[in-house]
Structure 1
């Protein structure tokens, strides 16, 4: 991937995540990765992410303190920044997010930017849902989106 210097795997409750490093910062998180080995010692930033994801999946972390290097347009970066304002355990519709961005007519542009979020979970794009709360597209698949939303709302059984 353009801008990614190294890649490492992290095992999580929702499967292997491929983490891309850019300028010694997190640049990409990808879901549903094939099982193959990547050689090399994980840098501190990857170990930090791995520990914070473990805490998140255990229900002990609501936000992430991760250094990341996001590659995208200024508009995409604005949308991704706005995603960080969605409280843990809450969801927002694409339309409401577009309205918060200043123009409800930009709903498709906002939805497109949400879908291009390079660091899902850390930047919580899973918290954006359809107008009636229905689950719509997610880069990690709808089953993972549902799992993350339920995890955050404490409805997921057997976690605590």
Structure 2
């Protein structure tokens, strides 16, 4: 099965939406590195339902009326990458996690750099919120769409930076950061 694609405009530039069958396989950036996400042969979309739904849900997200995506996803990567990308899907809207927190979540606390590399290869940007992963100091770190796009996405979600020694836990309580 080949991949189909279409382009859509957004506040972070033109995005390339890619489907494989009834699943979303990628959301790529306007100036994405050609080798960042490798998928295979593609043809232009002729009205795919999943790409229609993805385009609509992204428009709602950027309009501030959607905080969760409801799309079938088809990840293309290694087992480790898929594990990291599944962990990204658990980060709540408006919250962030550090690379170490993701490494701990997937059961491999020594894999911080590998988590960062997998995060950088996330094929389904925005929908799989790699923009919600930040440095342990609270600083915005590398992002395929650029740091300005990462800041825009986080601001759109109402995220406010926390002091380096304080983090908001998933329960909403504040705790000292060990990361």
TM bin (shorter chain):
0.7 to 0.9
RMSD: 1.9
Match of 1:83 in 2: 88
- Maintained 8 Å contact 1:28/1:119: yes
Q: What are the residue-to-residue correspondences of 1:96-135 with 2, within 5 Å?
A: 96-135=101-140
Tell whether 2:153 aligns with 1:148. yes
Q: What are the residue-to-residue correspondences of 1:51-90 with 2, within 5 Å?
A: 51-90=56-95
Segments ≥4 residues shifted beyond 4 Å: none
Give, in whole Å, the separation in 2 of the partners of 1:154 and 1:93. 14
Across the two proteins, how many residue pairs are aligned to each other? 150
* Unaligned stretches of 5+ residues in structure 2: 33-42, 161-179
TM-score, with length taken from structure 2: 0.77
Question: Higher helix fraction: Structure 1 or Structure 2?
Answer: 1
Given the superposition, is the C-alpha separation of residues 8 and 33 from structure 1 closer, same or farther in structure 2, using an over 3 Å criterion? Answer: farther
State the Cα distance separating 1:81 from its structure 2 match.
0.6
* Unaligned stretches of 5+ residues in structure 1: 156-160
TM-score, with length taken from structure 1: 0.86
